[in-house]
Structure 1
Amino acid sequence: MTAAATILIIDDNADLGMVLRAHLQGAGYRPLVVDGARAGLALIEAGEIDLVITDILMPEVDGIELVRSVKRRWPDLPVIAMSGGGQIAARDLLDMIGQLGADHVLQKPVRRSDLLAAVEAQLLKRRPA
């Protein structure tokens, strides 16, 4: 069941989005890639998304606000947040976003094995017993 899951990747770095898409496609998922929170929220609103992977530091609407919006409107939709940091240490930023509602956090650069393990774990939580 999880092998056909639709996973939304939200990241303003197009190259990273394509790498994540390739990793997820190779594992049998259906990844969609958008470059910002507004486009991501529109896709969630419009269709069946099984899991969201989002960057935290993005222009316009950042990942913190995105996670809060998703969890407020779709509390059962798993969200994996990722960041490489910036002015705030990446681990501190990821700890903060985890406290704000992200179901899992990943530090960039994201290893393929860590990405797939996090995705599978979050999708398993959604599976009916």
Structure 2
Amino acid sequence: MARILIVDDEPAVLATIRLLLERAGHTVVVAGDGRKGLAIFEAGDFDLVFLDIFMPGMDGLETMRLVHQHQPLVPIVVISGRPAPYESGPDFLGMATKLGAIRGLQKPFKPAALLAAVAGCLEAAKRLSSSTVTGNIAPNL
């Protein structure tokens, strides 16, 4: 199974995602903010990262940028509790995927959606990794 880092400033969200992923057989490490998450990421070896977009201090978009500088092929799923955009509001999840996140999940999400995102990201990362080894770079995940 995968080694997954979750970075979110809401303890209840961290606990819920951690429980779901551990029950699915994954190893999970958590951090309560972007700076701690980045330090843990740089010191470890992760297959997938979950990042909350809106956190105090270093937000998820900046954390994502720095994670990609360190390891550009690690898939990132962004999560946000901000309401879906209205006609005049920005689509932060959409922006994050344009900046390199593989998936975006709107909180609250169903356990099945979380597990499907994990499975899809890990499978895409595996395909990309094998394509990179053989010299055939996949156009996107």
| TM-score normalized with structure 1 length | 0.90
Q: Which has the higher contact order (CA 8 A, sep 6+)?
A: 1
Structure 2 residue 70 is the aligned partner of structure 1 residue 69: no
- Structure showing greater Rg: 2
CA distance in 2, matches of 1:6, 1:91: 32
1:84 is aligned, of 81, 84, 90, to 81
Deviating above 4 A after TM superposition, structure 1's stretches of 4 or more consecutive aligned residues are none
CA distance in 1, matches of 2:113, 2:12: 18
Amino acid of the structure 1 residue aligned with 2:6? I
Aligned to 1:119: 118
> How far off its partner does 1:126 sit?
2.1
- Give the CA RMSD over aligned residues: 1.7
CA distance in 1, matches of 2:106, 2:68: 21
| Number of matched pairs | 125
Structure 2 residue 54 is the aligned partner of structure 1 residue 54: no
> How far off its partner does 1:72 sit?
2.2
Structure 1: gaps (5+ residues) = none
Indicate if the aligned counterparts of 1:85 and 1:91 stay in contact, CA closer than 8 A.
Answer: no
Aligned to 2:100: 101
Amino acid of the structure 1 residue aligned with 2:91? D
Aligned to 2:133: none
| TM-score normalized with structure 2 length | 0.83
CA distance in 2, matches of 1:17, 1:126: 23
Aligned to 1:14: 11
CA distance in 2, matches of 1:113, 1:91: 26
